[in-house]
Amino acid sequence: MLPAEDYARLIDLVEEAQDINAAKDQLERLAAGEGTMPSEVLKLILDDELTAIAAWRKYRGLTQAALARATGCSQVWLSKIEAGAGHGTPKMRRAIAAALDAPLWALEDGETQQTA
């Protein structure tokens, strides 16, 4: 029979191993660029109340017209997407992410994520 102290120590070791594995997984995701965005983009979203796409566009120094040309959509439609009045197709959102060199998840606003 295993003494209670030894059992408690084993439980602690298992929990510690789980924490270490979770930390390693998070570090791998960060190294792959998941879950991070430049602080300048975050500042534009939080302080200037821009949508994520508008913030990334400003961060990349692009006009709406330039981003629209790069993605193949009209500036009017891009303006609606940036304003939250339109979502765009998954293909369009991938094109926007590629043109902005941004991860697709980073372009999603809270409401967009729920409906996507």
Over residues 4-13, mean pLDDT:
92
pLDDT at 70 over 90: yes
Q: Is-above-0.85 flag for pTM?
A: no
The two structure tokens encoding residue 60: 């990349």
Q: pLDDT band for position 28 (50/70/90)?
A: confident
pLDDT at 5 over 80: yes
Over residues 54-68, mean pLDDT:
97
Work out the angle between the directed axes of helices 90-100 and 75-83 (0-180°, nearest 10): 90
* Residue with the larger pLDDT of the pair 94 and 27: 94
- pLDDT at 33 (0 to 100): 64
- pLDDT at 105 (0 to 100): 86
Q: What angle do CA 21, 39, 68 make, to 5 degrees?
A: 110
Query: What's the mean pLDDT when you consider all of the chain?
Result: 87
- Phi and psi dihedrals of 4, rounded to 5? -60, -40
| Under 8 Å between Cβ of 100 and 57 | yes
The two structure tokens encoding residue 24: 């390693």
pLDDT at 18 over 70: yes
Over residues 62-76, mean pLDDT:
95
Count of residues in the chain: 116
Q: Fold for 39-115, please state it.
A: 434 Repressor (Amino-terminal Domain) (1.10.260)
User: What does the radius of gyration of the chain's CA atoms come to, in whole angstroms?
Assistant: 21
